[in-house]
Structure 1
């Protein structure tokens, strides 16, 4: 892996690979912005290292493995001692969409049109925006982040077409894509690339009954998962009807089963990223089939690439509810 530093002070780019001891590169479907923690050797008496420029907050770091995998800004630095290591914390440009808050009152726009408008307002480059063709009559946003606004709009579309969407960076430009991409020609398997695995199950997030109400507070329907209620007890949620959205479809999308998570440590593969599906065959946990990456952490040290993956049994979208929508 090649690690490069672009200094704000002189706008020059330097190859600092030889002074890097290790790299942790990670992301998740919930936090969205990818991060990189880079451990740099702090050796003031080694001329090969001391002659290289030091990262400072505001500088840029890029990681390249065949192609550029990460480009982000330094936001934190931790120095352990005069001679030892320095940890440089970086985050990619999606942070700006997570930090910038705006007010909007959209009328008769599609999710892709809403995304295009807010991204233009913050001058964030766009690669592609998944088309939905679904008109959103109104959507009120007050003090919402740009990311949340985009995902609120696509959540409304999701309730109509049941498609899943996610944000990612492609060449430092934002794309909203349909979630469901699979790591092709690749399998995680014990004895091949898995070094450790574990399985957990939790009923904490179960919803097995949804009562449906109109905008006046009158109950107009409900959906239930009787088998789940019988096995785990009643966990109820409420849903208010939305214009243009089938109430039973939307309510059924809210039903959830026990959350099952498969955690895997394995030989690293750069294609195993949050939001993607991956085939698993693991006799230790008894898991076999297609699973979805909730979070990933790729570590590089001494020429060895390893990864830690948290896998979900269900392909889920980072749904965001708006303050007012129809």
Structure 2
């Protein structure tokens, strides 16, 4: 059973479960805060005259005693009728602020901790990402973009695939390998419908060109890696990016090889509409079985939307092969 509470942060906490006819909870793996959108009915028979909802109020959603969402009211939309629409976000919303940072020989974990400390955000489990990033100088950038860049650099340098999320009011950083669920979705299990897409139109590259400005010679050094077979099939799909000035030739060659391994493949995405299970959120691995597509494997949840309407709970998943 769901429980929905609003904390006015002045000592008053309201249980609004009975006056919320619909609720939508969304999570994204990269670049966005989790959001909660709900509609409540004002002026109900048993509602206290003191009941209010204000910007910055805390909203907590629990399911059978387990925390689902902990966030803050950012938008209240009301009119002459009895319905009030509320939108809340978790702590990651505060990472959309801009600032400037310089890091040297720090791990992504240390970068997350530093930024969270500076902005007084609560921390939960922060896994050690291991790889020390030689340098990052970020001027007037979104805090979340800075963190995502650090995580991308960690992945490219074989430090592992980590993701940042808010775990019921605490920022957490976990390796996606730690987030496997044993909930099977697919034929005869939760799934109502699916869509399957294969694409080389986004984030697929078979020709990698990494450059570095050589201060000694005054020239630009170019390092190239490619898959000739895939170029013959798809045409040349080029990724062009700059290497850190402190990287040596061997390190740049390793970077080119790693980028080619990561990017030189057809992107496969799967969307599923299913009966809802709140254990599923963006960043989790779930096993999917669809006989028609000859699929029986784990997929990474990129986006997850849970919808509650009366007694119905459904979820929509955007999944990706890793």
TM-score, structure 2 as length reference: 0.87
Distance 1:226 1:162, change over 3 A: farther
CA shift, 1:266, in A, is: 0.6
Aligned partner (choices 234, 238, 253) of residue 232 of structure 1? 234
Alpha carbons of 1:234 and 1:80: their partners in 2 closer, same or farther (altered >3 Å)? farther
Q: What per-residue deviation string (whole Å, max 9, x for no partner) do you get for residues 185-224 of structure 1?
A: 3201223311111112232112111123232354443221
Cα distance change on mapping 1:79 and 1:132 into 2, 3 Å: closer
Does residue 116 in structure 1 map to residue 106 in structure 2? no
Which of 170, 180, 185 aligns to 1:173? It is: 170
Structure 1 partner of 2:225:
223
Distance in 1 (alpha carbons) for counterparts of 2:292 and 2:308: 26
Q: Any conservation in 1 of the 2:129–2:160 contact (CA below 8 Å)?
A: no
Give distance in 2, aligned partners of 1:130 and 1:191: 36
Deviations 1:44-90 (A, max 9, x none): 3x41246572423222211000311101111112236424x222111
Structure 2: distance between partners of 1:185 and 1:116: 30
The aligned residue for residue 8 of structure 2 is: 7
Q: What displacement does 1:22 show?
A: 1.1
> What's the TM-score once normalised by structure 1's chain length?
0.86
Within 2, Cα distance between the matches of 1:254 and 1:298? 30
**Does 2:258 correspond to 1:257?**
no
C-alpha RMSD of matched pairs (Å): 2.3
Residue 174 to residue 24, structure 1, CA distance change in 2 (3 Å): same
Inter-CA distance 282–80: structure 2 relative to 1 (3 Å threshold)? farther
Structure 2: how far apart are the matches of 1:183 and 1:134?
Answer: 23
Number of aligned residue pairs: give it.
Answer: 309
Comparing 125-134 and 167-176, the one that deviates more:
125-134
- Structure 1 window deviating more from structure 2 (19-28 vs 190-199): it is 190-199
Give the structure 1 partner of residue 81 of structure 2: 82
Q: Which consecutive unaligned segments of at least 5 residues does structure 1 have? A: 315-326
Alignment of 1:283-294 (within 5 A): 283-294=291-302
1:157 matches 2:159: no
**Does residue 1:138 correspond to 2:140, yes or no?**
no
| Residues 85-107 of structure 1: CA deviation (Å, up to 9, x unaligned) | 22211111111112x22212223
Quick one: distance in 2 between partners of 1:137 and 1:198?
Answer: 41
Corresponding position: 1:247 with 2:255: yes
SS of the residue corresponding to residue 48 of structure 1 reads coil
- CA contact 1:32–1:168 (8 Å) conserved in 2: no
Which is worse superposed, 286-295 or 268-277?
286-295
Q: Where does the alignment leave 5 or more consecutive residues of structure 2 unmatched?
A: none
Summarize the alignment of residues 1-326 of structure 1 with structure 2, pairs less than 5 Å apart. Answer: 1-8=2-9, 10-42=10-42, 44=43, 46-49=44-47, 53-66=51-64, 67-79=66-78, 81-83=80-82, 85-98=83-96, 100-205=97-202, 206-216=204-214, 218-242=220-244, 243=247, 245=251, 246-253=254-261, 255-314=263-322
- Verify the 8 A CA contact 1:63 1:70 in the aligned structure 2: yes
Q: Check 1:283–1:41 CA distance in 2 against 1; reply closer, same or farther (3 A cut).
A: farther
Cα contact 1:197–1:284 (8 A) shared by 2: no
- The equivalent residue for 1:320 is none
Moved more, 264-273 or 147-156: 147-156
Q: Is the 8 A contact 1:213 1:221 kept in 2?
A: yes
Q: Separation in 1 of the partners of 2:221 and 2:291?
A: 47
Q: Is the 8 A contact 1:72 1:90 kept in 2?
A: yes
Map of 1:322 onto structure 2: none
